[in-house]
Amino acid sequence: MAELNNTSEQRMGIIISYLLRIGVITSAIITLTGGIFFLVWYGNSKVAHGVFHGEPIVLRSISGIISAALSGNFRAIMQLGLLVLIATPVVRVGFSVLAFFLERDYLYVFITLAVFIILISSYIIL
């Protein structure tokens, strides 16, 4: 029985490591792609340093970022890459809740679920 538990723990660790790698690599590719296109398109533009321009309204919400990125907005593509990077640990914690539940380790399900709820609520409040 200990070998079975050790094997499932190792499998869980491997899956989590793949989730983290895939999330970070995907984020880097998306952000880098948006950045390269942004520099190619706007790299020679003059910048007015005396005037501050904040982020456009469309880039201040998740749905706005996704729709703008799908329409080819290079800034939104870079923001989307950062969203993927932020979502990576949240997905990891969500997977951990499921993995602990499948292992019937309910103490860790409760603890990890509490962490998951705190993470999600912190994003909703912001």
Instruction: Provide the CB-side half-sphere exposure for 17 (13 A, CA).
Output: 6
pTM of structure: 0.79
Residue 126 has pLDDT above 60, yes or no: no
Range 34-48 average pLDDT: 87
Q: Is the pLDDT of residue 47 over 80?
A: no
In the chain, the largest separation of any two C-alpha atoms, in whole Å, equals: 68
- Tell me which of 11 and 111 has the higher pLDDT: 111
d(CA 5, CA 14): 14
Q: Is residue 41 scored above 50 in pLDDT?
A: yes
- The whole-angstrom separation of Cα 101 and Cα 108 is 8
Residue ranges per domain, the chain?
Answer: 2-42+57-125
Question: Is the pLDDT reported for residue 6 higher than 80?
Answer: no
Please give the Cα distance from 78 to 21 (Å, whole number): 19
| pLDDT mean across residues, the chain | 88
* Look-up of token digits 């520099």: 39
Q: For residue range 51-69, what is the model confidence (pLDDT) as tens digits?
A: 887 888 888 888 899 999 9
Supply the pLDDT for residue 40: 93
Q: What is the Cα–Cα distance from 27 to 63, expressed in whole angstroms?
A: 17
Reported as a single tens digit per residue, the pLDDT across 70-106 is 999 999 999 999 999 999 999 999 999 998 998 898 9
DSSP annotation string for 52-117: -----GGGGSHHHHHHHHHTT-HHHHHHHHHHHHHHHHHHHHHHHHHHHHHTT-HHHHHHHHHHHH
